[in-house]
Structure 1
Amino acid sequence: MIRIIAVLCRLSSPTDCHEQVVTTSDFAQVTMQSCLMGAPQLAEWMAQHPAERLAAWRCTIGKQGDGRGA
């Protein structure tokens, strides 16, 4: 399974950033190549979270921690 870990920053406080795993069941068909190119599912996920700005993302294979931290 490919996991996408996003670095998200609050629009109300641009220096307040955190990492979050954004992979859901919608991401089941994400390949490493599509992830590195910015999976379309990531844009859809961001549209559902308008209070945050995507600062960066990375792609990992397998399980990742709970997504908290910076």
Structure 2
Amino acid sequence: MIQIIAVLCNLSSPANCHEQTVTTSDFADVSMQSCLMGAPQLADWMKLHPSERLAGWRCVIGTQDGRGA
């Protein structure tokens, strides 16, 4: 399983950034290559977070263990 970890920054406070695991059914079968290329579904997912800016993302095989990067 490939997970996408998005780095999101608050639009009203750009220095306030955090990581969030992207979890939707759209990403259920994302490949590592698709993830590394920016997974087109990521743009649609960002529409659900209008107060945040996508600063970056990373692809993780398996599950996120809760530790920061």
Same fold (TM over 0.5): yes
Amino acid at match of 2:54: L
Gaps of 5+ in 2: none
CA distance in 1, matches of 2:13, 2:35: 27
| 1:19-60 alpha-carbon deviations (Å, 9 max, x no partner) | 000132220121000000000111110011110000010001
Do the aligned residues in 2 keep the contact of 1:6 with 1:22 (CA within 8 Å)? yes
Per the normalisation by structure 1, the TM-score is: 0.88
Please show how residues 36-47 of structure 1 align to structure 2 within 5 Å.
36-47=36-47
Q: Percent identity?
A: 77
Instruction: Output the amino acid matched with 1:44.
Output: D
- Give the alignment's TM-score, normalised by structure 2: 0.90
Indicate the RMSD between aligned Cα atoms, in angstroms.
1.6
- The SS at the match of 1:49 is coil
Q: Which runs of 4 or more aligned residues in structure 1 lie more than 6 Å from their structure 2 counterparts after TM superposition?
A: none
Q: Report the equivalent of 2:51.
A: 51
**Secondary structure of the residue that 1:42 maps to in structure 2?**
helix
Aligned to 1:19: 19
Paired residues, number: 69
* Structure 1: unaligned runs, 5 residues or longer: none
